[in-house]
Amino acid sequence: MGTVSGIQTKLAFANQGYYSDGREVYFEITEGTTPFEISDAFTFAVTANKVNHGWTVWDMVRVPDTHGATAILYAGTATGVYKTTNGSRTWSSAGFFTGDYILALELYPTATGGATDIIYAGTQNAGVWASPDGGTTWTQYVTGIDSGYGATIKDLLVDPDNHRLYAVTYKGPVGSATGSVYMHTLNTNGTMTADPWVKANTGMSGTSLYALGSDMPSSPTALFVGGEGINLYKATSGLDTGNPSWYESKGDISNLIMARMPVLFSGECFMTIYRTDYGNGYSYFEIYIEDENGNPPLKGSIFTAVAAPRSGLEPAPPELTYWDVTYPECYTTPHGDFIHGTFRDPSDGATNDPYFVSANGNSYESVTFTFTPTCEVEAPGCSGSNQTWTYALHTP
């Protein structure tokens, strides 16, 4: 199951829901006219769709004057540029090009979300690409700039007032990387000229770079750049010529590494339950509620685990609630000194924190687990779908 399969060794139960090892597909095992036998096996093959939970989004830009449920955004990912016209509820491809591992995006400010949007994309190993038509077609611009294997474009910045596009490069291994600021001239409408890139490092010292910024995006009077070891530099002169004069401007900043971090699309959360039966009438359950990155559900999502008593017992046992959790606004769900429901790093056993339930089949007929997610909009702003599983308990 999934891209890398492997044999699943845990017990399977008929008429209960399961997810494949990579969470790509959901299935329920149902016995037909021919009874199942021990060693029966199921094989699944899946094909990945477009933007999905867990795919890294390295940068995102919003079309000016679009907001909320009608916001238009472009996202740069390891598989191309994607676009949403409904505030991130749904996404579609804006167009692909060779070397489309995109780490930085920038929009020319005249963008309206239509077919004339000018988009600039900084990539890993393939330099800078530009599209004059909303991502439908792309042209590569690498003359004069670091490109090829090991060269990364970390950030882009457009200066529409002076008709310039700036890029910062990062080349080499972490800790000893090098980098520079580059400038490319633009036509008055924001499209790229035929001129090459030129370095724009005057007054700057240090090594690798990460991020660019300006004081006023529509008409900058100051540029800023940050990265490993160089802290923070500022330029207020030379912008009109495309050769900014940089000087150190770190003030009271104490953190010497100023890096842009990637954003992950948090995906739908799945309730996964593992069961072990013992001969004394007890069943033991481990429950995880997380997306494939180990993220818990959004605030307001609810998880309950309730046991139904067996009939005919005297005295009759009460209904038993093991868990009744409403998720708060936090990365994990605390219960006293413990964090339950996630396995945030499958390679690190120390992060394995499921919910636990030990059910007595002598007194209780079944246990029902219910996950009710918060779901204000479609993925990636949704914690999934309602899931309820009931497990019949066994007496000795």
pLDDT in tens, 196-229: 999 999 988 766 778 898 988 889 999 998 876 5
Confidence of residue 348 (pLDDT cuts 50, 70, 90): low
With 80 as the cut, is the pLDDT of residue 24 above it?
Answer: no
CATH topology of domain 267-392: Immunoglobulin-like (2.60.40)
Give dist(CA 256, CA 231) in Å, integer: 5
Where are the chain's structural domains? 1-48, 56-264, 267-392
Comparing 87 with 43, the larger pLDDT belongs to: 87
Q: pTM higher than 0.75, yes or no?
A: no
User: What is the number of other CB atoms lying within 10 angstroms of the CB of residue 249?
Assistant: 14
Provide CATH code, domain 56-264: 2.130.10.10
Asked whether this chain's domains 56-264 and 267-392 adopt the same fold, the reply is no
Scanning the structure block, which residue is given the tokens 């329920």? 28
Of 22-31, 39-48, 239-248, 250-259, give the lowest mean pLDDT range.
250-259
Local structure of 385: helix, strand or coil: coil
Q: How many angstroms separate the CA atoms of 215 and 219, rounded?
A: 8
Cis peptide leading into residue 160 (ω within 30°) = no
pLDDT at res. 370: 96
The residue whose two tokens read 């989004």 is 57
pLDDT beyond 50 at 289: yes
Residue with tokens 């002169």: 237
> For 349, phi and psi rounded to 5 degrees?
-60, -20
The pLDDT mean for the chain works out to 81
Q: Cα(213)–Cα(254) distance, rounded to whole angstroms?
A: 19
For the segment 91-96, the average pLDDT, to the nearest whole number, is 82
Question: Does the pLDDT at position 84 exceed 70?
Answer: yes
Q: With a cut of 60, say whether residue 377 has pLDDT above it.
A: no
Burial state string for 157-192 with b = 16 or more CB within 10 A and e = fewer than 16: bbbbebbbbbbbbbbeeeeebebbbbbbbbeeebeb
Interatomic CA distance for residues 263 and 315, integer angstroms: 55
d(CA 51, CA 40): 34
CA dihedral for 178, 221, 185, 60, sign (positive or negative): positive
Spatial distance between the Cα atoms of 359 and 309, rounded to a whole number of angstroms: 11
